[in-house]
Every structure is written in structure tokens, then in C-alpha cells.
């Protein structure tokens, strides 16, 4: 893609990050990379808004509940699984985004703090995510909410995990139905080698070296559906909304996943944010145009949420 197709604020952001001459995550190791992601949140993401409920929950794994209402009648709930290549990211790195989802969609949001690689390689992240989904679906007293159904959402590696959880809950249903999945620039088909990988794996924030490090750390076998969920087919999956970035090396994984869902008769929305990069929805201060992208995503999600009430 020609440089002219990059949004001006994306180009400015990439030039600024390059000028910092910081070490790369794969160069400083997992702990150093995790600290860098926390610092990135404070530098490039919008500040967290005030919200009525922010509460840590000791479930099968650490969870955090966000809700714009102190109390809530039974209704849909959104389970969010963070990205970070299965190696970095936590409840804090994605907190502003989760709070905005809870406010703008007017649903409780529960964020999942799954175990990270390389200390806990595959399938730990999947096992934690599916355990969290099934536990939340059971409306435990600790949650203080009575979900009538779950929306699954996740970005990047979290999108991979959300898709795998959707397959698990399709094949062995949870206590309440999965109402839909929102996969945000997901690592949706790790088995494949796609053109976008070759085209954008240098100079667009997410690089080949970083992706190799993430995949090696997680050590997910590409012939296992828990890592490549399309191995078990898309038939019968819940309504699916896939968002990709036009300049993302894993863009075509999301394209392929959405196409497979549509071919299988799944209610599918696919939207590609043009001229921007992987991670843009968590870079809304560094890339101001991402705020418009977020608003557009909400336009797609709100009817699904309202339909589920």
C-alpha cells in the first residue's frame, strides 16, 4: 500500500514512535515488554473515564467488572479478552477501552486476566478464557449480575481467544447463550500465510519479529482448534463482527475468518478501518482518528446489544 494511503495522524504517530528509538519488546523480554505496554497505554490511549462500578472479582481467574449502573436487572453482558500476543497486556492496559464499552453500550463488561506466556504457554490462555466465560455465564454470586447471554470480544490475541471460546461454547453450551462475538484485528487464522503479512510486517508498529516472538512464546500448535478455531468450522457460530486495520500484517486473517463465517451462514459484519494500523482502538490519544473508528464500531454493536435486552 502506498504511503499516501496512510492517514496523516497514523503517519505522524509512527514517525514519533520511531523517533523514540526504544528497544523492542522482544529485545527486553516478557517483563520488560509488559512494562512498555503499560507505559504505552498512559502515553497513547485516552484517560479512563469515571464509571459507577469498577470491581475486581476472584473468579476462576482474576476478573474485573465495569458497569455504568450500580445495580442492573438481568440482561446481556460483554466478556472482554485483552490482546498482547498472549505475552503482554492485563486488566489495566485495556481499562479505558473496557470502561468506554460499558458506558457506550450500557452493558456490564467483565475483563479477563488470563495467564501469560512464556511462563504459561498454550493452552493456558484458552483454558482461562473459557473457564471465565462459563463461570460468568453461571451468574455466580460474586459477579452481582445475572447475564441472560454473553457477547465475547477481544483484540488481536484476545480476538483469537474469543473466537476459540465461541467454538467451545457452540460445541458445549454454557449456562446462557453466546449472543455474538466482536473480534478486533484478530489473530483469527494463525495457520495461514497471507499477503498482508508480507506487505505490512515492517514499519507499521506490529512487526514480523514481534509476531514471531509472540507465537514462539505461546507455542500454540497450528493443528489445534484451540489455537486455530476455524479448524472446527464456522457453522453454527454466533453473530460475528470482525474489525481489521487496513495496514495490519494480520489484516487478511480477519478477512478470511469473516468470509468463512459468511459462507457458513453466520450473521456476519466485516469492517476494515482504512489507512490505520494494528492496535488503533487502544491508541486513541496517539491516533485521534481512531476515536471516529471506535464510534463506527459502536454503531455496529449497539443494535445487537439492544436486540439482546
Active site residues: 156, 248, 278
Cell 512464546 appears where? Answer: 217
Q: What is the DSSP letter of 40?
A: H
Q: Exposure pattern of 204-215 as b/e (b: 16+ CB <10 Å)?
A: bbbbeebbebbb
The per-residue DSSP string of 174-225 comes to -SS-EEEEEEES----TT---HHHHHHSSSSSS-HHHHHHHHHHHT--TTST
Using left for φ > 0, alpha for ψ between -120 and 50, and beta otherwise, residue 53 falls in: beta
Q: Is the dihedral of CA 181, 44, 108, 105 positive or negative?
A: negative
84's CB contacts (< 8 A; 6+ apart) are 37, 90, 93, 116, 156, 157, 158
Q: Is the dihedral of CA 303, 307, 308, 309 positive or negative?
A: positive
| DSSP-derived 3-state class of residue 288 | coil
Q: Is the dihedral of CA 36, 205, 86, 95 positive or negative?
A: positive
Q: What is the DSSP letter of 108?
A: -
At residue 79, φ and ψ (nearest 5 deg) are -100, 120
Amino acid at each position: 500500500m502506498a504511503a499516501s494511503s496512510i492517514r496523516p495522524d497514523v503517519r505522524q504517530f509512527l514517525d514519533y514512535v520511531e523517533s523514540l528509538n526504544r528497544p523492542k519488546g522482544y529485545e527486553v523480554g516478557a517483563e520488560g515488554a509488559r512494562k512498555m505496554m503499560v507505559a504505552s497505554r498512559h502515553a497513547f490511549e485516552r484517560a479512563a473515564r469515571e464509571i459507577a462500578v469498577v470491581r475486581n472479582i476472584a473468579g476462576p481467574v482474576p476478573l474485573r467488572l465495569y458497569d455504568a449502573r450500580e445495580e442492573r436487572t438481568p440482561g446481556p453482558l460483554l466478556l472482554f479478552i485483552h490482546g498482547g500476543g498472549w505475552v503482554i497486556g492485563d486488566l489495566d492496559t485495556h481499562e479505558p477501552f473496557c470502561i468506554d464499552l460499558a458506558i457506550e453500550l450500557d452493558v456490564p463488561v467483565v475483563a479477563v486476566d488470563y495467564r501469560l506466556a512464556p511462563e504459561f504457554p498454550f493452552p493456558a490462555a484458552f483454558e482461562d478464557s473459557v473457564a471465565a466465560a462459563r463461570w460468568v455465564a453461571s451468574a455466580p454470586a460474586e459477579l452481582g449480575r445475572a447475564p441472560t447471554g454473553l457477547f465475547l470480544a477481544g483484540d488481536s490475541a484476545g480476538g483469537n481467544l474469543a473466537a476459540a471460546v465461541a467454538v467451545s461454547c457452540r460445541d458445549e453450551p454454557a449456562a446462557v447463550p453466546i449472543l455474538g462475538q466482536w473480534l478486533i484485528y484478530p489473530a483469527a487464522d494463525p495457520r495461514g500465510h497471507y499477503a498482508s503479512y508480507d506487505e505490512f510486517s515492517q514499519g507499521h508498529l506490529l512487526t514480523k519479529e514481534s509476531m514471531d516472538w509472540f507465537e514462539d512464546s505461546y507455542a500454540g500448535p497450528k493443528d489445534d482448534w484451540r489455537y486455530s478455531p476455524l479448524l472446527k468450522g464456522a457453522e453454527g457460530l454466533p453473530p460475528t463482527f470482525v474489525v481489521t486495520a487496513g495496514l495490519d500484517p494480520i489484516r487478511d486473517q480477519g478477512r478470511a475468518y469473516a468470509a468463512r463465517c459468511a459462507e457458513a451462514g453466520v450473521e456476519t459484519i466485516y469492517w476494515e478501518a482504512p489507512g490505520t494500523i494494528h492496535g488503533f482502538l487502544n491508541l486513541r490519544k496517539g491516533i485521534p482518528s481512531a476515536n471516529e473508528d471506535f464510534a463506527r464500531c459502536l454503531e455496529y454493536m449497539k443494535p445487537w446489544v439492544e436486540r439482546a435486552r
